[in-house]
Amino acid sequence: MLLVGLTGGIGAGKSTVARMLAERGAVILDADAFARDAVRAGTPGFERVVARFGREVVGPDGELDRAKLASIVFRDPEALRDLEAIVHPEVRRMIDEGVVANAGTDRIVVLVNPLLIEMGTHRDCDVVVVVAASAATQEERSVARGMDRDDVRARMAVQMPLEERARRADVIIDNDGSLDELEPQVERLWSELRARASEAGVPEDRS
What is the Cβ-side half-sphere exposure of residue 79, based on CA atoms within 13 angstroms? 16
Distance between CA atoms of residues 129 and 23, nearest Å: 17
Long-range contacts of 148-152, Cβ-Cβ distance < 8 Å, separation of 24 or more: 148/67, 148/71, 151/67, 151/70, 151/71, 151/74, 152/10, 152/11
pLDDT digits 0-9 by tens, 176-205:
999 999 999 999 999 999 998 887 654 444
pTM to 2 decimal places: 0.86
- Per residue in 78-131, pLDDT tens? 999 999 999 999 999 999 999 999 988 889 999 999 999 998 999 999 999 999
8 A C-beta contact, residue 1 and residue 109: yes
205 in Cβ contact with 193 (< 8 Å)? no
Q: Which uninterrupted H or E stretch holds 85?
A: helix 77-102
For residues 101 and 19, the answer to whether their CB atoms sit within 8 Å is no
Residue pLDDT, tens place only, 39-63? 999 999 999 999 999 999 999 999 9
